Amino acid sequence: MNLLPVRRVPVRVHGIATLTVVMVLFFIMAMVAAYTNRNLIFEQRTSVNSYRSTQALIAAEAGVDWAIAQINGGTINATCEAGDDATDEFRWRYLYLKHDGTMAAHKWPGALGVSMAAQPACVLTPGGPLCSCPSGPLSTLPMVSTDAPMVFAVRFLNDSLTAQPNLTRIGAFRIRSAGCTSAHTGLSSANVNDKESCHRGKTFLDVDGSMGVEVTLGLVSALPVPPVAAVTAGGGITQAAGTLTATNEDAGTAVALHAGGAISGTTNLRGPAGSTANLSLPSDAELQGLAATAGDFFRATFGMPMESYRQQPAAARVNCAAGCTWAELGPVLAANPSRVIYLEGNVTLDQATTIGSTTLPSMLVATGNVTIAAPVTLNGVIYSDGNLTWQAGAAGGLVRGALMSNGSFSGQGNVAVAYDAEVIRRLHQAYGSYVRVPGSWRTF
C-alpha cells in the first residue's frame, strides 16, 4: 500500500501583535502612574510648604504676643528676663516718647554708619525660648544645631520706615514680627544674628519657611483724664498745721487746689506768671457728687471701673490688706518704674526717698488711704480712693505732678505740691497698657 506524504501547513505566529498591544498598555499605565506620582509629589511639596509657612506664621504671631507682654512688663536684662541684673524696661529700651505725643524707636549705629533699630528676638526650642534683648542693633541669640527651632524677631516701625498713617497718632505705633523655621546650623546656614538673616529686613536666606505679621498697638492710658490741679479732693482740703504750698504754672490748667468740699487753713498758692485767675476751686458740686457715689470718681478719672483698671496688663499689683510701707513698695517700684503700681489697701510712705523722675515718673493708685509720713520727693501722681494725709514728719517733702483723693486731703505739716504739666503729659501719653488695635493685622 502506498502511503501519501503528509503536507505540513505552516503555523502563523500571532504573538508579535499581542506583545505590541501589551507594551502599549504598559506604556500607557506607566504614563498614568508617572502623572499620578507627579501630582502626589506636588501635593507633598505643597503640604510641606504649607506646614512650614504655618509654623513661621505661628512664630511671627508668638513674637507679637511676646512683644506686647514685654512692653507691658517690668525691667529686663540682656536675655529679656527679670532678675538682679535687670536694668531698664523693654518699653524704654526700644522706644521713646516724642514731643508730639507719638512713640518712636531708638536707633544705634550699624554697619557702614547706617543707624539701625534693634530687633529683640527669640529662638523657640523644646526646652523653652532663648531670647535676646540687645542694647544695640544686633541680637545675640545662641545658634541651636538640633531640633529645627523656630525664630522670631520684633521690629518697631518709625514713621520713616513705613507709610502707615496710624504711626502719627498719639498712643499708637506699629510693630513687625518676622518668623522663620529651621534657622540653625544643622539644617541651614542662616545666622540668626546677622543683619541678612531670616528675621532681619525683607531678605530670608536658607530657611524652610518665613512669614511676617504687622499690627498696630494702641495705648489704654494709665491717666486718660489728667487732673487740672496740683491737689484734687472729692471731699475737703484742710491744712491743720503749717502751710500748704500749691503751685500750678501751667497756663492750660492754672488751678492749684480743687475740692468738692471746703478749703481751709494756711495756703500759699502760685499760678502762671502774671495770672490773676482764682487758683482754688472749693465746693465743686459736680466733683462732690462724683465722690459721693462709690466708684464714680475713679471712673471719671481713669475711664473704667476700678476692677478693670486693676486687671490691666501694665498694672503691678501689691497686696496691702495689712497695710504697706516703703519696705513693700520700694522693691516693686524698682522693678516696675513706669508701670502702674496698684496698691490694694492702705499705704504709708515712711522713708525719706525719691520716687520717680521727671522723665520716668511714677503712678501710684491705692484703693485705701495714703499717708505721707516722711519727706518724700515724688515725681508723678498719687491717687487715693480713700483719704490722703500729709503728716508733720513729711515737712520738706515735695510732689512734682499731682495728688488726687476720692476722700479728703489733710495737711498736718508744711506741704509742697507743684503741678508738673510734663510729668502729667508723660503719664497720659505713654503710661498704661498697650493692646492690639482691631483690624490692624496684616501679613507680609
In this predicted model, what pLDDT tens digit does every residue of 96-118 receive, in sequence order? 998 888 888 888 876 655 677 78
Q: What is the model's pLDDT at position 205?
A: 47
Q: Is the pLDDT of residue 375 over 80?
A: yes
The 10s digit of each residue's pLDDT in 232-251 is 999 999 999 999 999 999 99
pLDDT mean across residues, the chain: 85
Q: What is the model's pLDDT at position 35?
A: 73
Look at the block and give the residue holding cell 487758683.
279
Q: What is the model's pLDDT at position 110?
A: 67
Residue with more model confidence, 148 or 55: 55
Mean pLDDT throughout 202-215? 69
The 10s digit of each residue's pLDDT in 66-92 is 999 999 999 999 999 998 888 899 999
Which of the residue ranges 40-54, 135-149, 297-311 has the most confident prediction, judged by mean pLDDT? 297-311
Residue with more model confidence, 191 or 375: 375
Q: What is the model's pLDDT at position 185?
A: 44
Mean pLDDT throughout 184-211? 52
Provide the CA 57 distance to its chain's centre, in angstroms. Answer: 20
Question: Does this model's pTM top 0.75?
Answer: yes
Q: What is the model's pLDDT at position 192?
A: 53
Cα atoms in the 13 Å half-sphere on the side-chain side of 93:
27
Residue 184 in contact with residue 208, Cβ under 8 Å?
A: no
Q: Is the pLDDT of residue 280 over 70?
A: yes
Write the single-letter amino acid at 441.
W
Q: What percent of the chain has pLDDT over 90?
A: 55
Q: What is the model's pLDDT at position 14?
A: 60
Mean pLDDT throughout 280-293? 93
- 292 by DSSP, 3-state: which? helix
Q: Nearest-CA neighbor of 67 among 108, 122, 109, 12? A: 122
The 10s digit of each residue's pLDDT in 399-425 is 999 999 999 999 998 999 999 999 999
SS (H, E, C) 175-215: EEEEEEECCCCCCCCCCCCCCCCCCCCCCCCCCCEEEEEEE
Distances (CA, A) of 158 to 162, 342, 419: 7, 32, 32
Buried b (16+ CB within 10 A) or exposed e, 211-230: bbbbbbbbbbbbbeebbbbb
Mean pLDDT throughout 263-276? 89
Q: What percent of the chain has pLDDT over 70?
A: 82
| 148 dihedral zone (left: phi>0; alpha: psi -120 to 50; beta) | left
The 10s digit of each residue's pLDDT in 345-371 is 999 999 999 999 999 999 999 999 999
Distances (CA, A) of 138 to 63, 106, 296: 17, 13, 49
